[in-house]
């Protein structure tokens, strides 16, 4: 596989190599791929956690009597007012 880089990315890698922290472009790519994998796993976990919270909220709403929008918004505004006064 060959990889094409934009001039900016190529310069970025050259700068990192010149700084001496990395020994090769391959090492930089390995680190980048490892970080990408960690990012993907964290993103998947975040999505899973959000799904759980949504399911919990739906379940809780089944046990909570309905409330009209005006009452709901007024309750939120009242809480904000209490926080401001504290």
Q: Measure Cα distances from 43 to 29, 35, 54, 79 in Å.
A: 21, 12, 16, 32
User: pTM for the full model?
Assistant: 0.59
Looking at residues 7-26, what average pLDDT do you find?
Answer: 97
pLDDT value at residue 42: 97
Tell me the domain boundaries of the chain.
7-85
Q: How far is 16 from 8, CA to CA, in rounded Å? A: 12
Q: Tell me: the pLDDT tens digits for 22-58? A: 999 999 999 999 999 999 999 999 999 999 999 999 9
């Amino acid at each position: 596989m060959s990889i094409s880089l934009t001039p900016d990315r190529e310069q970025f890698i050259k700068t990192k190599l010149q700084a001496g922290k990395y020994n090769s472009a391959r090492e930089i790519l390995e680190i980048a791929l490892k970080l990408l994998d960690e990012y993907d796993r964290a993103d998947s976990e975040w999505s899973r956690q959000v799904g759980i919270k949504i399911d919990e909220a739906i379940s809780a709403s089944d046990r909570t009597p309905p409330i009209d929008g005006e009452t709901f918004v007024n309750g939120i505004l009242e809480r904000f007012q209490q926080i401001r006064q504290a």
